[in-house]
Amino acid sequence: MEASVVTTHPTSSRRTFLRTSAAASAGLAGVLLTKTPPAMGQDRELKMITWSHFVPTSDEELKRQLEEFGKAAGVKVRMDRVAHLQMPALLASEVQGQKGHDIASLWVGMPDLYRKQLVDLNDLVEKIGGRAGGWTDQIVGRDRDGTYRTVPWFFISLPIAIRTDLVAELGENLPDTWEDVHRIGKKMKAKGHPLGIQLAHSEDSNHILRGIIWSYGGKLVEADGKTVAINSKETVEAYKFIKALYQDCMDAEVLAWDDRNNNVCLNSGKCGMILNPISAYNSARKDNGEP
């Protein structure tokens, strides 16, 4: 996922303001790292839209950082939040109306959709990366023309959340490979506890499917970032595995799931295994009255 600037004010002065303030209001990406306040002369308001975090204290910290920047730079700041499933519709509406927020939290894929609404952040990415020892991945946030229109913000892993009691009951060990997931998932489904991986229009679904493709050595585009490579041998093999995983281990309902349904399926006791950020585990602990 990436923090990105969305501007509907293409004037030179407005673009300069956004570029000097973007990272500073993008939380982990570099609040106050630029040390460069925007040009003064008139009252300005910096508006940011992000999704409501699954951990509320994260929203509180981001708001604190944004307000700190506002005081240091002498600008008004405002942070709005919506449920993450509402972000695509909201962003599409703002682009259509050519008005809205100055900074938006985007996830993988969105910068390509809104590239015409994003400003060039090459200098900002270079400055932040240089102060922090460089970026671990030079591709994240970069457009196909080599321009950074987003600032990488944070990384989230999607580990396996699994019913260890079922694993023991089946006489299995915890999975180490996708083939292990397939074998164990097939046994779990036979006992009424299917694998819960959403295969629908949701962000987690895309993350998981890309992970499987990369594991098989597959790719969606060539190194030039332009040539479609989805028909490569490795990618085809990955999709054959995904098909087998669905047919052998899952219920048809996963084809209509959003990012909440797999959490619910695991915590209700139905699913034996899902792939998800640790929010599913934390929700289960909360439901059980654990701290």
Q: Which of 195, 112, 205 is nearest to 150 (CA)?
A: 112
pLDDT of residue 168: 97
Q: Token pair of 109, please?
A: 């894929």
pLDDT of residue 2: 42
Q: Which residue has the higher pLDDT, 40 or 55?
A: 55
pLDDT of residue 28: 31
Taking the domains of the chain in order of start, what are their residue ranges? Answer: 2-152, 160-287
- For residues 263-272, give the mean pLDDT: 94
Q: Which amino acid is at 5?
A: V
| Per-residue pLDDT band at 40 (split at 50, 70, 90) | very low
| CATH fold of the domain at 160-287 | D-Maltodextrin-Binding Protein; domain 2 (3.40.190)
Task: Say whether pLDDT at 247 is over 50.
Answer: yes
For residues 9 and 199, give the distance between their C-alpha atoms in angstroms, rounded to a whole number.
37
CA distances from 279 to 76, 159, 161, 174, 264 (A): 33, 11, 10, 20, 11
Q: Token pair of 218, please?
A: 């597959």
CATH of domain 2-152: 3.40.190.10
Task: Say whether pLDDT at 249 is over 80.
Answer: yes
Two domains, one topology: 2-152 and 160-287: yes
pLDDT of residue 42: 58
- As a whole number, the mean pLDDT across the chain is 83
Find which of 73-87, 141-155, 178-192, 204-218 is predicted with most confidence, using mean pLDDT.
178-192
The pTM for the full model equals 0.73
For the stretch 155-203, pLDDT in tens is 778 899 999 999 999 999 999 999 999 999 999 999 999 999 999 988 8
Helix, coil or strand: residue 25: helix
202 within 8 A of 259, measured Cβ to Cβ: yes
| Per-residue pLDDT band at 223 (split at 50, 70, 90) | confident
pLDDT of residue 31: 33
Task: Say whether pLDDT at 24 is over 50.
Answer: no
For the stretch 9-19, pLDDT in tens is 333 333 433 44
- For residues 267-289, give the mean pLDDT: 86
Alpha helix stretches (DSSP H) within the chain: 12-21, 56-73, 87-97, 110-113, 122-131, 164-169, 178-190, 203-215, 233-249, 261-267, 279-287
Task: Say whether pLDDT at 226 is over 90.
Answer: no
Q: Which amino acid is at 205?
A: S
**Would strands 103-106 and 45-51 be described as parallel, antiparallel, or unpaired?**
parallel
